[in-house]
């Protein structure tokens, strides 16, 4: 397998490190990174092939996968040269383009790469940087089962992988798991602030909130029972947790707020996608 990574920022870099940790030979990976300092660091530290732009790739270069990890705002400027990878290949030998650019639709890639291009739109999240992310992918009609398996393998390097067939679901995916880490970080912030208001020193309140969120997340990760059951296991009738949950689960509480938040993020994702 030949793998081309276009853009090596935080998410692209996390994926690159994950592929190398999985055992992908560095010689099979080429990175396009226009920042010369970053390119030098990548090449010296990771021993992968690095070029500054698409026109520096060998004319006969034929990758199996092209991972697009550039910002969605500059995709229109970055993408056109890679249409040659489709135009100069037999259809059955064309690469699959795996995009992790938020909000960019399958149709927007087909408009630039060509109607026959095999494209996967994927939505990862930031825990990918520690190998604990989750990514949801959606393929267009030209992506083969073998290419889906290949993309799954690549995405699993940074966490779990799910697939949806309908692209309209990607807005909800973005709102729930793509934006979701920010909701958890806000929860930790709010818990620490509440602890301070209850009389705890700021540093202690922050450590307690962080450890509680992290530990509870790991317990949820390792458990095979529903989150609702874990919640019930912590809640003694008439106890302190029950008193707090009476507030959090009341009308207008946490469930209602998160429903509104995810709805707002879904709406914004649709707007950004056009």
What is the rounded average pLDDT for all residues in the chain?
94
pLDDT tens digits, 34-57: 999 999 999 999 999 999 999 999
pLDDT tens digits, 55-101: 999 988 999 999 999 998 999 999 999 999 987 665 557 899 999 99
Contact 52/33 with Cβ under 8 angstroms? yes
Looking at CATH, the fold of the domain delimited by 3-167 is given as Rossmann fold (3.40.50)
Residue 136 gets the label, from left (phi > 0), alpha (psi -120 to 50) or beta, of beta
Q: Are strands 49-51 and 65-68 parallel, antiparallel or unpaired?
A: unpaired
Contact 42/105 with Cβ under 8 angstroms? no
The dotted CATH code for 180-273 is 1.10.3730.10
C-alpha to C-alpha distance for 66 and 96, rounded to whole angstroms:
6
Mean pLDDT value of segment 189-200:
98
**Sequence ranges of the domains in the chain:** 3-167, 180-273
C-alpha to C-alpha distance for 121 and 100, rounded to whole angstroms:
6
C-alpha to C-alpha distance for 173 and 196, rounded to whole angstroms:
34
Closest residue by Cα to residue 120 from 134, 132, 110? 110
Indicate the range of 91-105, 146-160, 187-201 predicted with least confidence: 91-105
Does residue 135 sit in helix, strand or coil?
strand
What number of other Cβ atoms are within 10 A of residue 70's Cβ? 21
C-alpha to C-alpha distance for 49 and 27, rounded to whole angstroms:
7
Please give the pLDDT value at position 60. 87
Please give the pLDDT value at position 90. 56
Show Cβ contacts of residue 266 under 8 Å, excluding neighbours closer than 6 positions: 171, 172, 174, 175
- The answer to whether domain 3-167 and domain 180-273 are alike in fold is no
Please give the pLDDT value at position 13. 93
pLDDT tens digits, 226-268: 999 999 999 999 999 999 999 999 999 999 999 999 999 999 9
pTM of the model: 0.91
């Amino acid at each position: 397998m030949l793998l081309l990574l276009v853009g090596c920022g935080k998410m692209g870099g996390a994926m690159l490190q994950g592929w190398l940790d999985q055992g992908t030979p560095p010689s099979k990976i080429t990175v396009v990174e226009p920042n010369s300092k970053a390119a030098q660091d990548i090449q010296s530290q990771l021993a992968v092939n690095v070029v500054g732009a698409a026109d520096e790739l060998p004319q006969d270069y034929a990758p199996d996968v092209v991972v697009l990890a550039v910002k969605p705002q500059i995709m229109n400027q970055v993408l056109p040269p890679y249409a040659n990878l489709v135009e100069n290949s037999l259809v059955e030998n064309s690469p699959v383009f795996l995009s992790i650019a938020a909000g960019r639709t399958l149709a927007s890639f087909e408009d630039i790469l060509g109607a026959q291009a095999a494209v996967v739109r994927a939505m990862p999240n930031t825990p990918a940087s520690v190998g604990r992310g989750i990514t949801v992918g959606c393929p267009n009609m030209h992506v083969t089962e073998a290419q889906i398996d290949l993309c799954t393998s690549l995405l699993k390097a940074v966490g779990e992988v799910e697939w949806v067939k309908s692209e309209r679901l990607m807005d909800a995916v973005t709102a729930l798991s793509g934006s979701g880490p920010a909701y958890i970080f806000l929860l930790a912030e709010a818990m620490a602030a509440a602890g301070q208001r209850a009389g705890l020193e700021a540093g202690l309140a922050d450590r307690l909130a962080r450890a509680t969120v992290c530990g509870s997340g790991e317990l949820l990760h390792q458990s095979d029972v529903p989150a609702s059951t874990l919640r019930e296991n912590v809640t003694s009738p008439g106890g302190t947790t029950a008193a707090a949950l009476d507030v959090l689960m009341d009308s207008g509480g946490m469930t209602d707020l998160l429903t509104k938040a995810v709805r707002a993020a879904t709406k914004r994702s649709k707007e950004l996608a056009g």
